[in-house]
Chain A
Amino acid sequence: MDFVLLLQRIFDALFNSAIYSSLALALVIIFRSTGLLNFAQGEMATFAAYVAFVLLAGPTPRLTGGGLAGLVPGVPLSIPLAIMGAVIFGMVAGAVTERALIRPLRDAPELAMVNVTIGMLLLINSLTAQWWGTLGRFFPPVFPTGPGEYLDVFGARLRYNTIGTWLVLISLLIALGLMLKFTRAGLAFRAVSISRESAELNGVPVGRTLMYGWALASALGALAACLSANIVLLEPNMMLRVLVFAFAAATLGGLDSPKGALVGGVIIGLSQTLIPAYVPFIGFELSVLPALVVMTAVLLVRPAGLFGTRRIERV
């Protein structure tokens, strides 16, 4: 077996894993705090990436598309500032969504939440396509991605892009872990995810905590979209495929476990790249299949994911 090729494939898969993990982390944060799946996570992330695009390109309607986006004034910003702008926009959008759409439905059955988020998916997807058109646009890379920008590891190429993305992801995870453990807001968050009523009785401001959770998740999604927008072209359906894999990753790792999101992302990314390469009859268009088969297999053995908490039904 060609070891160098295997290593190369693993390195290639790791970039995908980073993106899936960060989106999966966003999903996990929302599931852990509010107990619902945000099907629109990818679309909100795409919209934030488009906001970064607008901030980068300035007020040129030809580049930024028509409508409201062409009215944004100001000089074109540099990449880190534009991404920060997108992240801030994502935070605000997440908070507003939670307040306006999710809070009134807190006692509704699960199907209602699924409906609202699917509705949001359709709405945001079509608004994005309406405003900016369906043509893919070029988004500048965040980390150096030229042909020579890689690290040579045993003969395989580890791109700086991959390293940079993983560094961002790991530092975010560490920051998240520290926040959960050592800050008041983190404590409130943990309390709300365990039991909303008890937290409320204990004086935790539940509404505000949920809002912060959604804001954080949307910011994460925005970051994931901006990081991956260079590789997959910036177009309205950009995050739909990523969303499927991110869901698979989050489900595999356990929908309420951030650690599980990371592990799940790695597993899904690896199976997406390695299985089609080494199993003869699964071509590349079928790359969705092995990831989802792996997810289903894991769910059969552990119905709550690898690190998720099992649901116990009380009579």
Chain B
Amino acid sequence: MASTPLLVVEKGSKQHKLWQSVGVVYVVALVLLVPVVLEPFEISKMNRALTLSVAILAVNLVVGFNGMLALGHSAFMGLGAFVTASLIQDENMDYWYIIPIILIVGFVFGVILGLPALRVKGLYLALTTIAMAVVFPSLVNIEQLGIAKRTGGPNGKVVSETVDAPSYMEWLPGVDGARGDRAYRYWMIVVVVALTMLVIRNYIRSRPGRAVIAIRDHEAGAAVYGVNLPMYKTVNFAISASLGALAGLLWSMDKSFVAGQDFTFLLAIDLIIGLVIGGVGTLQGSLVGGLFVVWVRDLTKRISIPLGFYDLSGEGPLANAIFGLILILFTFFAPGGIVSLGRLVQSKLIRVIPLRPDGEPIQPLADLDPGPESTRAQVAMNLAIIGAVLLPLGWLAMNIDNLIVGVFAFALRFQILITMPIALIVGINELQAHKEGKRSDSMVGQANVARILGGIGTVFLVLFGFFHFVDQYATGFDLPIV
């Protein structure tokens, strides 16, 4: 295959905007359809995954972007959760007023606990923060200052005011009954997560964010450049702490029950795992990490692998073993996490050329054109054919009643979401290039195959999705098509 990626677009061009809108459509569809498609208990898992994503983002701020090994954010989550629960139960406040309070409380605690971090460095700091995470569950039980009364002591605290779906939601198709409440909470959490990621993205791209990254890359150099080390480190830690507290608020909102045993060192380990596997130092990595930790743990709980004389069953401790193994493997083979793997794949498929201020691309597109001998049409054709072949295979494999095979079958069917549109667009591009005289004539047949197959596949995808949705969920509507 040629060393240039399959698709090269100019930043801001029509094609680029087309790809971006496709991406937005996928993401929005995912967000809107998830509570409709999943079972109610799976929606709760999704909520938990998103909550962990916020917490992992908090850890990422300190570990990934500032280079400080502060690994005890489960304590901040617990802080946020208990303060929320206490404020709602004892003071009868409303959830939406609590959000700013939680952020401020987290910030203040972050400043207090972040000051020692200025003096203690490296692995010593890791140990201190882990100590913080270990101590937290027992702090909840202190009798003094009325803390045990407010936190419910060893029994935990039940939050009786839950966030329920408003009445207008009954008119929406597909989310009714047990789904309704959880779906509402899901969408609220999605809004909070999206806002948080937006804020943090802007923070990282701004001046304080660049200062923080400079501290990570070379502390002495940053100091020489005039970065106020203690201030930026502390503020960063405090922001991370308030994010952790926000995650605690989301946790208590979703689960309506907080107990000290939920926020142990094991949760801190989960956050670390999500951080590393998602991708240290990336924003999307936090999201991916949160989803990974919750869903893969759920998946491993259901596995049972017979190994001859011994049965490796999934309940209980095996999930942790698999996590540990995955963590070790990722450290060796993918230190940048899943996001780095994703970027690797993306770099093979599409490249966006930035524009100079005068509007010209920094590297003329013609330089990246592989010329008459390009293999792009062939690759597109292969993609389309492989996609078309794997789809019925995945369909057939669905009949096998085995969890691992089921996951693979799902992946096999899912891949047409990616291969078909790519084959279609690359086919169209190649035919266009041929018309402009940049390609030899032998490409035409392959490009045509890619275009036609990709087109059929994409149309099939859209129609299938539409009819599936209509068939299953829009029972309240009268449509001429059944």
Q: What's the minimum C-beta distance from B426 to chain A, rounded to whole angstroms?
A: 38
> Can you report 6 residue pairs joining A to B where beta carbons are below 8 Å apart?
A122-B327, A123-B320, A283-B141, A288-B135, A292-B131, A303-B120
- Mask: chain A, 28-69; 1 = CB below 8 Å from B; 0 = not: 000100001100000000000000000000000000001110
A290 to B, closest residue via Cβ: B135
Partner of B124, one of A66, A281, A304: A304
Interface size of B by CB at 8 A reads: 51
B143 to A, closest residue via Cβ: A281
Partner of B317, one of A108, A114, A125: A125
List residues of chain B with CB within 8 A of the CB of A231: none
- Mask: chain A, 109-146; 1 = CB below 8 Å from B; 0 = not: 01110111011111111110110001000000000000
Interface flag for A296 (CB, 8 Å) = yes
Interface flag for A75 (CB, 8 Å) = no
Pairwise interchain contact B328-A116, C-beta atoms closer than 8 A:
yes
Interface size of A by CB at 8 A reads: 52
A286 to B, closest residue via Cβ: B138
Given A129-B317, A251-B124, A281-B143: A118 and B327 within 8 A (CB)?
A: yes
Pairwise interchain contact A281-B324, C-beta atoms closer than 8 A:
no
- Mask: chain B, 186-203; 1 = CB below 8 Å from A; 0 = not: 000000000000000000
Q: In the docked arrangement, what's the CA distance between A286 and B148, Å?
A: 13
Q: What's the minimum C-beta distance from B227 to chain A, rounded to whole angstroms?
A: 15
CB-contacts of B177-223 with A (<8 A)? 219-221
- Mask: chain B, 333-345; 1 = CB below 8 Å from A; 0 = not: 0010000000000
Given A37-B126, A292-B135: A313 and B220 within 8 A (CB)?
A: yes
Pairwise interchain contact B126-A114, C-beta atoms closer than 8 A:
yes
List residues of chain B with CB within 8 A of the CB of A300: 116, 119-120
Partner of A66, one of B116, B272, B310, B332: B310
Interface flag for A153 (CB, 8 Å) = no
Interface flag for B155 (CB, 8 Å) = no
Cβ-closest 9 pairs across A and B:
A122-B324, A123-B324, A119-B327, A126-B317, A126-B321, A119-B328, A129-B317, A126-B320, A119-B324
List residues of chain B with CB within 8 A of the CB of A116: 327-328, 331
Pairwise interchain contact B310-A118, C-beta atoms closer than 8 A:
no
Q: What's the minimum C-beta distance from A73 to chain B, rounded to whole angstroms?
A: 15
Q: What's the minimum C-beta distance from A91 to chain B, rounded to whole angstroms?
A: 22
A236 to B, closest residue via Cβ: B317
Pairwise interchain contact A108-B335, C-beta atoms closer than 8 A:
yes
Pairwise interchain contact B124-A122, C-beta atoms closer than 8 A:
no
List residues of chain A with CB within 8 A of the CB of B327: 115-116, 118-119, 122
14 more A-B contacts (CB under 8 A) besides A111-B63, A286-B138?
A111-B280, A115-B331, A123-B328, A126-B318, A247-B131, A248-B127, A251-B124, A251-B128, A281-B142, A288-B135, A289-B135, A292-B131, A296-B116, A303-B121
Partner of A244, one of B134, B317, B326: B134
- Mask: chain B, 302-322; 1 = CB below 8 Å from A; 0 = not: 000000011010001111110
A292 to B, closest residue via Cβ: B131
Pairwise interchain contact B331-A313, C-beta atoms closer than 8 A:
no
Chain A residues with a Cβ under 8 A of chain B: 31, 36-37, 66-68, 101, 104-105, 108, 110-112, 114-116, 118-127, 129-130, 134, 236, 244, 247-248, 251, 255, 281, 283, 285-286, 288-289, 292, 295-296, 299-300, 303-305, 311, 313, 315
Pairwise interchain contact A115-B124, C-beta atoms closer than 8 A:
no
Pairwise interchain contact A122-B144, C-beta atoms closer than 8 A:
no
Given A126-B324, A299-B128: A311 and B317 within 8 A (CB)?
A: no
Q: What's the minimum C-beta distance from A216 to chain B, rounded to whole angstroms?
A: 20
Find the residue from A126, A129, A134 having the highest chain B CB count within 10 A: A126
Partner of A101, one of B124, B134, B139, B328: B328
A101 to B, closest residue via Cβ: B328
Interface flag for B172 (CB, 8 Å) = no
A39 to B, closest residue via Cβ: B130
Find the residue from B142, B309, B331 having the highest chain A CB count within 10 A: B331
Q: In the docked arrangement, what's the CA distance between A303 and B120, Å?
A: 5
List residues of chain A with CB within 8 A of the CB of B371: none
Q: In the docked arrangement, what's the CA distance between A221 and B331, Å?
A: 25
Interface flag for B95 (CB, 8 Å) = no
Pairwise interchain contact B317-A130, C-beta atoms closer than 8 A:
yes
Q: What's the minimum C-beta distance from B137 to chain A, rounded to whole angstroms?
A: 9
Interface flag for B323 (CB, 8 Å) = yes
Q: What's the minimum C-beta distance from A293 to chain B, rounded to whole angstroms?
A: 8
List residues of chain B with CB within 8 A of the CB of A236: 317
Given A114-B69, A286-B138: A105 and B116 within 8 A (CB)?
A: no
- Mask: chain B, 123-159; 1 = CB below 8 Å from A; 0 = not: 1101110111011001101111000000000000000
Q: What's the minimum C-beta distance from A138 to chain B, rounded to whole angstroms?
A: 21
